[in-house]
Structure 1
Amino acid sequence: NSYEENKLPVSNNACNRRQQLVVLLIALSCIGLGYFAHESIAAFTGSLTSSTQAKLKDSSEINGSSQSNTNSFDGDMGIKGEMQGNNIQEEESLEDESTSDGSNPAMTTKQQQIRNFALGQRSNHSYYGAIVASVHITHHAGTAVCGAFKAAGFHSPSFACMSGGTNPIGANQTETMIRGLLQQYDFISWEYGKSKRDNHLDQTHWENPHLVSLIVMRHPIDRSLAGDGFVNKNYGEESNRSPELWWDFANSYATNNFALQKLVGKECCDGKDTDPTFLLKAKELLSRFTFIVDQECLGDGILQVAKTLNFTQEQVQAIHHWADHSDKKYINKDKHKATARERINNDTMYEFLLERGRLDIELYEWSKTLSIVNCSEVNGKDNEM
């Protein structure tokens, strides 16, 4: 018989059962694949959620630390030893703990600023980098500090490193301003005169991780005797000043808690009757700055700033050469200069000035405790501008 003849007949019911079995197997396969896909998606989503929550937690901690900066300067400078002698941690390890804004929750605000400046000088990462901004009070060595950074080869505005207008930048403007300045400069100076200003210095976000702030503090009576065109025009040259003009000078704006007024605003000051709350505000502001340098030993202070910011050996040598060979000779100074009391040559007037600028003097003496260098421990400390 032929093959066709020997085939067994297949009923319609059997065919239907086979088709149903195939459909069932396909359905079970789809259910299995769906379950596997569901579990995979759930695992991926859970991982993503955990990662997002961790980032939000880190961001919250960073913002919390950057809004508060009450540690002492010496405590914040704990990074100093790490950063001297080119001993910065490798960038790869720092990237692991840094966020996209350059913050690092394991560091204090000032340590972040110092780290960012040092790494920014040798890194192309956009979130590294910081600019040094020197807040210049008139006759507080602002031009000298500018010269030091230029001697080290840092990019600065051409005229006395000055950048910005006469109004301090507000907290909401700080980040944008700094990012713009970093495109051109490594170092700038900010000086705010007697003109009216809408903002106060304490409104600037000094805790920004890309802003290294520096201020030089000076004894108020020494500052008032520095002389300038306005003082000489109105009160005569110091060597030819009459007793009457000396007293006019003693009662002028130049002796009225000058630095205090620059720091806290035009509401201050009123000579010996100045409200003590202005002193408290000024202390709070200064404590937020990255570096305070005592003008009494300016050269040594700037050299220590350079080492702390991890300048190269060549840059440190350039600053040392600048300090030792400039016409001011900021270090190793042997020539004796007359004291303020000797220059005034009137004990009654000198005591009057001490009382009139009492809060300004107290601020200066307090700032010495935060200075990066203790001038009393430095040889050749007579580095007056």
Structure 2
Amino acid sequence: MNKRKELYSFVPQEIARHFIESSQRPTDPSTNSTAIPATILLNQDIESPSSSSTDQEDDDDDDDDYVEQVQETLYAYEYEDDDEDDSTLYDSSFIQDSDSSSIDHHDNDSDVEVSQPQKLSFMRGLFSKLRLHSDSQQSSPQQHQEFGDASPYLSTYGTLINKRIGEGVSATVQLAQRQHDDAVFAVKIFRKRKRRETLTGYMKALAGEFCIASALNHPNIIKTLDFVRMDNDHERYCIVMEFCPEGDMYALIKQGKLQDDEIYAYFKQLLLGLSYLHSLGVAHRDLKPENLLVHKGMLKISDFGSADVFRVAWQEHSRLSDGLCGTTPYMAPEIFLDQGYWAAPVDVWAAGIILFCMKFDGVPFGSALLTDTNYPIYLRKRPLRQYDPFNKLAKEPRTLIYAMLNPDCNRRITVQDVLNMPWMQTIVLP
């Protein structure tokens, strides 16, 4: 029995900068669409594994049980062939110059300017130390001190405000306020290293997330500013990010006040951010409304703890990702197969679920598994485009969501093809 896998991208800052400078498009699968019908499940009725706030140690037996449950799922469904090709959903006459892609519509100025003199030197030193040790070796207190000494303190960015704005299995998010200019930052505070966890493995996870997130620069992606340690607890590390005071998309959806023009504008911004990520060979792999922050009409993708680099700048072809990651209602069907999968189409599937969620405050099915009540109905109805929950959508978004929720990842439409659709070209951004 294979253990449940948790993948962390481990990319040195120099490599991260290198693949960001590349303008190559990924060579992953694209194309195709279809139809569906069933009841809408409200968000509050779905238990998300990633929303747990427990800080206890993971149980190996629980992981085995989880994998066995997934592997025992009846997944021998044969997809009916579609005569329609999703790649025909866009007209090449509407394609804009790719060099002027997403950032033409946005102001790229940051509200908070932060100097980062120690960040790169710390990360280089960190990775240099990581390469000297094996995961199988026991870490000594002296080794741990080496890691800590290289890192700046959280007090560089002010004092923590006693208020949690986010919480998950591996970290909590709090606010920090800097005294001299009252600037406010979001601080992701990671859990302490577990007893059975090696220092190298622990630091790879934290530094991998930071290296990817801090190398990204796009108006629809949250700015990651620094990697620091707690002043009063040197075994706790933090990532400092820009703060979006308006909260996340989940809270906005729950207010029930989103209009269609707002929904589609936010959705287009999500696609622009994803297009940027995929062009650099990065997939998020845990897209959901809780990981989409909003600020002054702008949507920003956050939380790159599950992100994977599926292609770096000097590679012509993408590599398969693996590992069971994400939040169940937003996970593509191929993730549950416990084998390699293309990471970019996984984000496309999640974005399609998010579009439905923004529109109807719910998800079209609980999971992309045959054990789910509604998903088998979707598979039966999809070829004729007759899945009931989608019938309330207008023609363009209905056609789009079928293309994005193609159960065959090799025929699923790509983010760039979605952006090239004539309907998407008419959506005006703030």
Same fold (TM over 0.5): no
Computing the radius of gyration over CA atoms, which structure comes out larger, 1 or 2?
1
Higher relative helix content = 1
Instruction: Report the TM-score, using the length of structure 1 for normalisation.
Output: 0.23
| Bigger RCO of structures 1 and 2 (CA < 8 A, at least 6 apart) | 2
TM-score (norm 2): 0.22
